Each structure stands twice: as structure tokens, then as C-alpha cells.
Chain A
Amino acid sequence: MATAASSAPRKPIAEFFDQAGMLVVLAILFIGCSVFVENFLSWRNMQGLALAVSMTGMVACTMLFCLAAGDFDLSIGSVVACAGVLAAVVMNKTESITLGVAAGLGIGALVGVANGYVVAKLRINALITTLATMQIVRGFGFIISDGKAVGIGVEDFFSLGSSALFGVPTPVWITAVCFAIFGFILNRTVFGRDTLAVGGNSEASHLAGIAVDRVKIIIFTAQGVMAAFAGIVLASRITSGQPNTSQGFELEVISACVLGGVSLTGGVGSMAFVIAGVLIMGIVQNAMNLLNVATFYQYVARGLILLAAVLFDRWKRRKQCGTRGI
């Protein structure tokens, strides 16, 4: 290997680095933390890490589609909270897990359809639309819970968040399945390719016969349902619906996607890189916790990492297309 690499001067390595980008960063980060951070590699910590990123991971799947189609969704943090609260309230009233989960997913779908309709049909900018629904839905969560945490009385429900299979917590399995399904949809289905085309140039896509509006509405709906589902899983883990939870969650998810090389202008994105982005954010957070870095400093560090990642990406791209300074 070493001889092959040295005889063909650096090219394969450079190419691999270009292609793999964030995956390499992830590998280096993981190895670095394993070596230098005590307890990092322990099974217990790995479980904790996986559980911590599971929620971001789930929602990042649909956020990837949203960003790839050239939009984004700020309302997900509120949907997580509202769906959890609503599920808790309905469950307490009806004693039925099914009805509770259905109500939670229902509110997510409703918000998603509304977002999608306003963005696609009424052509309001996604930033403004979802900024509005973010506040509306947050308010709605407070209204139905009267501003207080809603403890859940149906104990069977807690197994969704706290059970484990082969020693891996259920939410982590769910996230892994989501990664697989949405990765497949993006790469291997007409819908996935249409999504990237719409993000790359919606007018050209329209003129190529793609039902642009429908693609967007479906994406926003999926995003709403996914966020609601994450909210229900969260409620199960913490045994209550919290109207205050997940503030700023939307930015965490978008950061992870951007870290994974998804273009904010649309048209570019891959699941493997988004997973890398999610894990990088999770590992950094986890390592800082283990190293007892104060929360205030953690914010600073996360912001710096995001900025560095984006600059790195820009630098790499510029290198790829010569000196074309766009």
C-alpha cells in the first residue's frame, strides 16, 4: 500500500480525501476521542452517545430532503414539543397509546401540510413560513398543556423510549432504520432524484414535467410527521410531554446537515455525509461533557466547529474547480 501510494504521487490519497471529506474528519475525531478522552470508548458511553444523537439523526433524515429541495424548516423544534404534549394529554384522557401516538403524528402532519402548502402553492419563502409556524405551534403546545409538563400515566408507553434490543436502545434502532430508508429514497427512487432536481433548479424541473409543488408538500409533510415522531419518542423517554423542550433543536439539525455537506441553496446532499455530520456534532458534545467543559463554552465550541466545517468545504470545492472564485 505504502509503496503504491508513494509511486503514484499523492493523487489517490488526495482524491480519496476529496470524496470522503467529512467521513475522514469523523474517523479522525472518533479515533482522537477514543485515545485522548477517558471513558469515551466504554460501552456505556457509546450507548449514551447513540441515544443522544438519535433524535437529531431521525429529524436530519427529512431535513436533508427539505434542504436538498432548496427549502428549510424551522418549525421542527416546536413540533417535537407540541406532539409530545398532545400525545401525553390524549393518552392520559383516553388511556390509549394508539390514540395518543396518532394525535401526536396527526399534529405533525397537519403542520407539515400547512408549511408545504404555503411554501409551494402560495410561494411564501420557507424561512418566513416556518418561522411563523414555529411560533404558532410552540404557542399551541403551551396552550394545551397550560404551560406545564404533562406527566404520562400509561406506563406501557415508556418502553418505546427506554427499551433496548441486543443492548442497543430502541430509539437508536429507529434512527438507523430511518437512515437506511431515507438514504434509499434519496438515491434510488424517482422521488429522491426529483427532490435534488427541484432544489438544483425548480423552474427547469417544472419544465421537465416534475410536479414541483407536490414534491415540496410531500417533503414538508414528511418533515412534520418525523419531527412529531421524534417528539413522541422523547416524551416516552422522559415520561412526560414538555412544552418547553427542544428550543433551538431546528438549528442543531440544520447544523448537522450543513456539516454533512448539504448545500443550503439546494440540489446537493447525501445521506452518508449527513450521518457523519450528525455523529460529529454528537461526538464533540459527548467529549466535551466527558471532559467537563462548561455548557457556556460548549456553545462557543459548537459554533466554531460549524464555521470551520463550512470553510473547509468551501476550500475543498474551490480547489476542485480550479480557481473559479464563486
Chain B
Amino acid sequence: MPPALAFDHVSMAFPGVKALDEVSFDVCAGSIHALMGENGAGKSTLLKILSGAYPPSGGSLAIDGQPRAFRDTAEALTAGIAVIYQELHLVPEMSVAENLFLGHLPQTFGIVNRRALAEAARQQLELIGEDINPQTKVGQLSLGQRQMVEIAKALTRGARIIAFDEPTSSLSDREVRRLFTIIRELRTRGCAVLYVSHRMEEIFELCDRITILRDGRHVATGRLPSRDTGVPPLDSSLPLTRDAVVQRMVGRTLADIYNYTPRASRGFEGTALAAGPTRTADDNREGVPTSGSSTHEPPPTRDDRALVVDGLCGPGLAEPCSFTVAAGEIFGFFGLIGAGRSELLKLLFGAVPKTSGGITFSGRELTITSPRHAIAAGIVLCPEDRKKEGIVPVRSVLENINLSARRRTARAGLFIHEAWEQTNARERTAQLRVKTPSVHQLIRNLSGGNQQKVILARWLSEKVNVILLDEPTRGIDVGAKSEIYTIMQDLARSGVCVIVVSSELPEILGVSDRIAVMRQGKIAAILDRAEATEEKLLKLALPLETGRAS
């Protein structure tokens, strides 16, 4: 039987870049096939070709052994292909039912048959076992539910080849479990699933086979040691181990991608741990008022270059938050989505006005009412949503790097210091190894990892005392991740207070000296690196009343 989908020497050339170079591999019906590679390896391009958005500049696709060339996305849809992107393609103002049948609504003479529509939608949603009212507006659904609607939409169109592009990047743990159940269900039904993700855990949990791309070239296709598929292995080759996958992706072995090195200068060794008992979840379960939560905090440290946050209140926080970060410390914030971590960083940075609470650095009280003040005080933020809050997509790498520092370096505070900006952009891109043809390249043409490095470069151009990193490695490949961890460690070693927010447990455990767990708008506990484990963090992060574990 021919494979459901075969890529045959597919190439794609953009001006100046060969995005794909003769990539060939097969995806079989009834299997979940992982596609991995660093950013810029060509995964997205491959999906675009599959979806019919780009015609390949060389090679061809075959579906069930039949060579196909799609002229547009409509042809790919008709051929049974659905690509589910990170940014979902649903109309928020329309109902679930209308979205499911968008483009082919049941109709008589152009008038939509509402009853037939509702009925058909209900059937489709039942098929994937999702309990959503088809009349709900998509805009009112959670991200996870929208993903389910997107899958149901693909199925209503009779898709048999379904590709997912980073589907879990903004889902909660529970929603991820739900999604996996449905993807496995798709496999049972004989769909060919192509699954793109950076998350190694997911790939090893879910997928049967894997194809690895690097720099647009096919590096390896192999079997994964899947656990409970019940599907006989498709080939007899040895399954790839995690290390082998990483090694093939980056072309080298990464012993410890977090590059964690204990730093002697940590102001908290001894004092913090001896003085303040770690707050546990149980403290809060008793409903102890924590307005004076500074009692749980370590006493003033010997380190005078510390950031002290005392009773910070504002939108998104349920209780005043207090903590201290020493110079040279990496302080992690873990929690579920919506626990208030990003909000806390925004309050610290002055992007959202705080209602009360004090921020002290080096013993000096800071008045921060806008990001501008924060930057002047040496507090900088790498925001969570790179595209929306970080980069200015239509401007060059150079301009994005100098966006903030130019206020300081301009002559008479008004006129751009061109030479300085050029030098700074060149030096920073070299220092952080930003992959770009030139500093005049538009930043939107860079991969996610390189965009993140540009934002870091923006802040390294300033005098930084405290750096706030909100999900700094989201959607970034392993190689770039490792580089960003190194930058974090270097910053800490040079005496910067590093505060990092992450939803990835291994990451937060890997990089942090101490970890604060946030739950429902408050700090539930602060743990030291030595005592923090995945189980502890998760337990602390889960909401109290329900305690629904995944």
C-alpha cells in the first residue's frame, strides 16, 4: 500500500535562502508522525507546501501514491489535507456551527438552513467527543476548545491527512491531554497525522515516527519508542532516543541545555533558607491572610543590589505579592496560564499601573509608572507575546535593537547617532549570534529564536539591573533555547537579577536558583532549587477547590 502522504525531493527556494533542499519522506495512514527541527529548519515551509499555500520550487507530493500539485489551498483541502496552525483560522464573531461549515454552509438557494446546520454541527462535535454548544460564538471559547473546533472543521471537510503546527503552545495541561486523546483517535480512524512541536516530551509521548530537518535538509526519519500504541512498528529499525533526536536536530550533543552553573555570589545562600521556612501550599489552604506576607520573606539580605518587591497589588493579582531577588540570582515563576505571572511582570515593569506596593532596588525606592521609568531604573522586560508586544515587524533588525537605547545615545537627545547604532547592532547581533543576512533585514523575516535574541539585544544595549523574561523560549528550537539559557546565566553571573516566567517545568527547574509558584493570582510558595521537584511545583500550581489533576 502506498503511503498516505509522500514528499519526494521537495525543494523550496526563496530569494537568497534555500528553505528546503530535496526533502523526501513518507507519512503512513494510521500513524502520528513527528516533524522536528530548529526554527528555520524548514518545518513551516513544508507545511505551507502541504497546505497548497506555496508551490514547491522542486520535487513533488504524492497522496496515496498519486502525485499531486496544488495550485492553491482550496485544492489541498479537496484532496483531504488539513493544516492546523498555531494561529487558528476561525472567525471569532461567528458561531461554532457556522465556523465548522464555513465555505459550504447547508443552504437552499443561498439561504442558510439553520436547522440542518445546527444538527450537522452537533454530529461533528459529538464525533470528536467535545461538549460544546454549536450556537456559541467562537470568541467565547477557550483556546483549547477552539483547537477542538478547528479539528472538527478539518474532519467535516473529510480530511485524512492532518498536520498540526505547535498545537499545544498555548494550551493548559488539561487541554493538552484532551487534544492528545483526539489525535490518537484520529490515528485509530486511519488518518495520517503530521505533528510539529518543539516539546520533546510530547513527541515521545504521542508520536510513532519522527522526521528531523536541519537547515532545510532531511536529516533522519525513524521510529520512536512509543508506549501504548498497539500499532505494530512500521519498520524494524531501532527507535531513536531522546538524545539521538536532539543531536540530529542541532548537529551536536547537548549535555545540559540549561547550562546551569551554581554561582557563588548568590546573596541568599544561608540567609534565605535558614531564616524563612518555605511557604507551602498548606499555609494558604488554611486561608491565612497573607497581606503581611513579608513575614514569609527572608530578612534584608547582605546583598545590597537586590530587588525587593513588597506587597505589590494590581490587576491580575488576587493578593499582595512580596519577594526578593538578589543580584546574580535567577528567580523563576511557575504556574498555570492565568495564574498571574505575566501580570506580575507587567506590574513590575510599569506596563500596567500598580494599585499599591513598593519596589526597591539597591535599597532605593523606585517610582515606576511607565515602562520608560522602569527602563531608566534598569528594569527591562522581554514580553511573552513576541509578535504582539516585542518586535516591530516592519522595521529592520537594527531599528529593533536600538529601539530603546537610542533615546540615551542620541545627540542632544534628539538626533540619531548613526555610527553608534550601526556599531551597536553589529556587535549585539554578533555577540548573541543572531542569524540574519544583515542588520538591515526586516525582523519579521527572522525565525522566532532570532527575533527573541534581537529583543535580548535591545536590552543588552541598555544598562540592565533586573531583567524580566516572560516565557523566553516559547516556540523556539532547542539550539536557540540553549543559547538563551546561556545568556541568562551570563547575565546572572554579571550581577543582574534575572526573573523568568515559564510554563515548562523542566525549563523552570533547569534554570532557576529559586522558584516561586503562582496560583490564582498569588504566590503560593517559594522553593529553593534543591527542594523543587516537578511534582511539588505542579501540586502547588493547581487550583485549590477542584484539585483536578490532569
Listed in ascending order, the chain A residues whose CB lies under 8 Å from chain B are 187-191, 193, 196-197, 200-201, 203-211, 263, 266-268, 320-325
Complex alpha-carbon distance, A206 and B390, angstroms = 10
Q: Contacts A200-B394, A201-B391 given; indicate if A207 touches B416 (C-beta within 8 A).
A: no
Question: B179 to nearest A CB, angstroms?
Answer: 28
B394–A209 CB distance below 8 A: no
Q: List, in ascending order, chain B residues with CB within 8 A of A205's CB.
A: 392, 403
A325–B53 CB distance below 8 A: yes
Complex alpha-carbon distance, A35 and B54, angstroms = 44
Complex alpha-carbon distance, A208 and B456, angstroms = 12
Complex alpha-carbon distance, A325 and B392, angstroms = 20
Q: Contacts A190-B410, A207-B381, A208-B371 given; indicate if A268 touches B394 (C-beta within 8 A).
A: yes
A189–B399 CB distance below 8 A: no
B55–A323 CB distance below 8 A: yes
B393–A200 CB distance below 8 A: yes
Complex alpha-carbon distance, A189 and B418, angstroms = 10
Q: Contacts A190-B416, A323-B55 given; indicate if A209 touches B375 (C-beta within 8 A).
A: yes
Q: Contacts A204-B391, A207-B389 given; indicate if A190 touches B445 (C-beta within 8 A).
A: no
Q: Which of B369-424 contact A (CB under 8 A)?
A: 370-372, 374-376, 381, 383, 388-395, 399, 403-404, 406-407, 410, 413-416, 418
Q: Contacts A209-B372, A320-B15 given; indicate if A193 touches B393 (C-beta within 8 A).
A: no
Is B94 engaged at the interface, CB distance under 8 Å to the other chain?
no
Q: Contacts A189-B414, A325-B53 given; indicate if A208 touches B393 (C-beta within 8 A).
A: no
Q: List, in ascending order, chain B residues with CB within 8 A of A206's CB.
A: 351, 371
Is B458 engaged at the interface, CB distance under 8 Å to the other chain?
yes
Complex alpha-carbon distance, A324 and B370, angstroms = 37
Q: List, in ascending order, chain A residues with CB within 8 A of B55's CB.
A: 323
B395–A196 CB distance below 8 A: yes
Q: Contacts A201-B393, A207-B351 given; indicate if A193 touches B15 (C-beta within 8 A).
A: no
By size class, the interface of chain B is: 35 or more
Complex alpha-carbon distance, A163 and B351, angstroms = 53
Is B361 engaged at the interface, CB distance under 8 Å to the other chain?
no
26 contacts between A and B (CB under 8 A): A188-B416, A190-B413, A190-B416, A196-B395, A196-B399, A200-B395, A204-B389, A204-B403, A205-B403, A207-B351, A207-B371, A207-B389, A208-B375, A209-B370, A209-B372, A209-B375, A209-B404, A209-B407, A210-B404, A211-B372, A267-B392, A320-B15, A322-B14, A322-B15, A323-B54, A324-B54
Listed in ascending order, the chain B residues whose CB lies under 8 Å from chain A are 14-15, 53-55, 349, 351, 370-372, 374-376, 381, 383, 388-395, 399, 403-404, 406-407, 410, 413-416, 418, 445, 458
Q: Contacts A204-B391, A207-B371 given; indicate if A193 touches B399 (C-beta within 8 A).
A: yes
A210–B351 CB distance below 8 A: no
Contact among A189, A209, A263, A266 for B416, CB-based, below 8 A:
A189
Complex alpha-carbon distance, A193 and B390, angstroms = 16
A190–B414 CB distance below 8 A: yes
Question: B106 to nearest A CB, angstroms?
Answer: 30
Question: A132 to nearest B CB, angstroms?
Answer: 26
B371–A209 CB distance below 8 A: yes
Complex alpha-carbon distance, A90 and B390, angstroms = 50
Q: List, in ascending order, chain B residues with CB within 8 A of A187's CB.
A: 416
Q: List, in ascending order, chain B residues with CB within 8 A of A322's CB.
A: 14-15, 54
Q: List, in ascending order, chain B residues with CB within 8 A of A263's CB.
A: 394
Q: List, in ascending order, chain B residues with CB within 8 A of A211's CB.
A: 370, 372
Complex alpha-carbon distance, A170 and B414, angstroms = 30
Complex alpha-carbon distance, A268 and B393, angstroms = 10
Q: List, in ascending order, chain B residues with CB within 8 A of A266's CB.
A: 394
Complex alpha-carbon distance, A324 and B44, angstroms = 12
Q: Contacts A190-B406, A191-B414, A207-B371 given; indicate if A201 touches B392 (C-beta within 8 A).
A: yes
B445–A321 CB distance below 8 A: yes
Instruction: Give 9 new A-B contacts, CB below 8 A, not counting A193-B406, A208-B371, A267-B392.
Output: A189-B415, A190-B414, A197-B392, A201-B393, A203-B388, A205-B392, A205-B403, A207-B351, A209-B370
Contact among B349, B370, B416 for A193, CB-based, below 8 A:
B416
Closest CB pairs A-B (n = 7)? A200-B392, A267-B394, A322-B14, A209-B372, A209-B375, A208-B403, A201-B392
Contact among B53, B394, B404, B416 for A208, CB-based, below 8 A:
B404
Question: A185 to nearest B CB, angstroms?
Answer: 9
